[in-house]
Amino acid sequence: MPAPLDIVFAALADPTRRAILSMLLEDDMAVSDVAEPFQMSLAAISKHLAVLAGAGLISQEKRGRINWCKLEPDALREASAWMAGFGQMEGVDFDAFEAFLQRELGLEVPEA
């Protein structure tokens, strides 16, 4: 089973999901309002919302006949703390870091 941090980063990897989170920064939203700016089906948006909820980044609540989405900012704390550790390092070679991550994940490392 993937670690919680892996699930959060996987959820954040998609630009649609990041856009949804940005929208929810303003206020809770009905699912239909979340879907409005996107050119995709309500079913596709619901799948994105399920991924975000599975990562703990949002919660969903049914109020009457309407499903509402709410941002859960605490879920980003661990990811934020992990990323902040890199901001404290001077002279980080991000190309070397990317190559390291690719090796760790078993991905092909492009030739430099």
Q: Positive or negative CA dihedral for 36, 53, 15, 21?
A: positive
Whether the per-residue pLDDT at 112 is higher than 60: the answer is: no
> C-alpha distances in angstroms, 92 versus 1, 79, 95?
31, 19, 9
Please tell me the predicted confidence (pLDDT) of residue 1.
53
Report pLDDT digits (tens) over 12-26: 999 999 999 999 998
pLDDT (mean) for 59-84:
89
Please tell me the predicted confidence (pLDDT) of residue 96.
78
Lay out the sheet containing 66-71: strands in order across: 29-30, 66-71, 58-63
Question: What are the chain's domains?
Answer: 4-75 (1.10.10.10)
Whether the per-residue pLDDT at 56 is higher than 90: the answer is: yes
> Whole-angstrom Cα distance, residue 75 to residue 82?
12
pTM above 0.85? no
Please tell me the predicted confidence (pLDDT) of residue 89.
56
